[in-house]
Amino acid sequence: MGKSDFTGPLERVNEYLWRIPRSYKPEMRVDGLIYASDALVELLRGDQAPEQVANVATLPGIQVASLAMPDIHWGYGFTIGGVCATDPDEGGVISPGGVGYDINCGVRLIRSNLFYQDVKPFQQRLVDELFKAVPTGTGRKGKYRFEPNELRRLMGEGVPFLKDRGLATDADIEFTEAHGCLDGADPDLVSDRALERGASQCGTLGSGNHFLEVQIVDSIFDAHAAEVMGLEKDMVCVMIHSGSRGLGYQVCDDALRLLRGIPEKYGIELPDRQLACAPVNSPEGSHYLGAMRAAANYAWCNRQLLMWQAREVFARVFDDSWQSLQMGLVYDVAHNIAKFEEHSIEAARKRVWVHRKGATRAFPPGHPEIPDRYREIGQPVLIPGDMGRASWVLVGQPGSMEQTFGTTCHGAGRVMSRTKAVREAKGRRIDQELKQRGVIARAQSWKGLAEEQPDAYKDVNLVVDVVHSAGLSKKVARMRPIGVIKG
C-alpha cells in the first residue's frame, strides 16, 4: 500500500502493542504506539504508514502518544487508523489530515424482527430493490433535495432537522453518536462549491468502500450485551457505511487550501506538508472546526436518509411497515472526526481535541455520553469487514479510556491498493465468486467490485482479535453478509 518499506524501529511493548520510540526523530514530541498482532505487524513493515505515525508525533500540543489501530494503512497526512489528541492550552493544533476528506464517514446498524429463513426466499429481490432505490456511485443524486437555506439548517441542526420533516424519529436521534449533531457547526463557513456538491447528495451512498449490506447475526459472543441491543442469532440486520459525500470532500479541500502557509505563520515546522494544521485557538483553526462540524452533521443526515430508504424497501418487499418489522437503529458511530473531549492524562483531567481518522469511539460502561439503554454494557462499536467475510459488533471497554482516548479500530484496513485489486481481478467475476459464498452483490460497475474484493482487505477477524485482547472493545456479535450494494 505505501510508497516503500518502513525501516524505522518497531519495538514490542506487549503481545498487541508496538512502539516507535520518540528518539526515532528529533522532532517527535511523544512515542508512536501501534496496536497489532504478530501477523498484522508483518504487513506494516511493507507500508509507510508507521512513518506517518512518527510524523504525527511531531504535532504541537500532542498528548501521551501518536496512536494507530490494527487496521492501519497509508492515508493523507495521518495514517488511516490514526488517533491523536492535542491540548489547546499547550498550543495544540487541529489538522484536517487527522479527520480526512470524508468527514464523519461512519457506520450504522439497523436490526429487524426478520430471521434468515424469512428473508432467504426474497434475497435476490431484496438486494435488487435496494440497489434500485438507494442511489450509489460517484456523483449520483438522490431523491432528497435541499435548497441552500435548508441545507444550512441541516448542517447546523443535524438529524433533528430531519425529524421535523418526518424523516427521523426520537429513537433514531437517541442512538446516533452525539445525537446526530455536533454543537458549534457554522454552515456559513461552508463554501458555495461545497453547498452545490451537497445539495442533492444527502441520502446517497457514494462509491469506493461505502456500502449498504443485508447481514445475518452469525455468532453471539456476549449474550447479555446482544440482548440489550436487541440482537439474536440468525437475525437479519442492515449495515450502512457512508459519509459526507462531495460536500465533506470540498470542506476538507477548502481547509487545506486555507491552511497553506499557516503552520509557518505560527512557527510550526512539519515533516510532511500533508499535516497542514493550525492552533485550535487561532482564527484558521476555528474556521476549519466550524466547517468540519457542519459537514459532520451533513454526514449523519446522509446515513439517516439512507436508512430511511432501506426501511421503505423492506416495507415494500415484505408488505409490512418498517415499524412492524421492528427496524430500529441499534447505533450510529463516526470514524473520521475530531471532537473536544475530557480525558485523564497523567493524573489530571484535560479537555483535548481527539482526532480519529479511520478510528471509532469506544466509550466504556458508565460513560455519560452513552444512551441510557447501553450505559451498563458500554457504547456499541460497529466494525465492518470486507463484503465476503464478516462484520462485528463490539462494546467499548475501560481499556480504551486508559490507553487510546476512548478509541478502537474502524474496519479491516486495506492491504491492496485499488489499482492492484483491479489488476488482480482481471478475468474474474467477483460477483459470481461472492455468490458462491452466499452473498448477492450489486454495483454500478465491474471495477467497483474488483476494487473492493475481499482479498483487498485484512481479515477483520484478526483486527477485532487485537482490540478485544488489548481491552479496547469487547466482542458481542459477528455478522455475515448475504447481500451488498455498492457504487
Phi/psi of residue 178, each to 5°?
A: 60, 20
Whose cell is 493524573? That residue is 347
Run of H or E residues at 109 = strand 106-110
Q: What are the residue numbers of the active site?
A: 410
Q: Rounded CA gap, 373 and 358, in Å?
A: 26
> Pairing relation of β-strands 380-383 and 211-220?
unpaired
Q: Is 57 helix (H, G, I), strand (E, B) or coil?
A: coil
Q: Where are the alpha helices (DSSP H) in 199-276?
A: 223-229, 245-258, 262-265
What is the CA 307 to chain-centroid distance, rounded? 16
The closest of 391, 385, 394 to 468, measured between CA atoms, is 394
Q: What does the angle CA 215 – CA 218 – CA 222 come to, to the nearest 5 degrees? A: 115
Residues with Cβ within 8 Å of 270's Cβ and at least 6 positions away in sequence, in order, are: 55, 58, 263, 276, 277
- Cell representation of residue 250: 470540498
Q: Rounded CA gap, 404 and 384, in Å?
A: 20
Question: How many other β-carbons are positioned within 10 Å of the β-carbon of residue 113?
Answer: 15
Asked whether 80 and 296 are in contact (CB, 8 A), the reply is no
469, 474, 475, 479: CA torsion to nearest 10: -120
Q: Is the dihedral of CA 253, 255, 258, 260 positive or negative?
A: negative
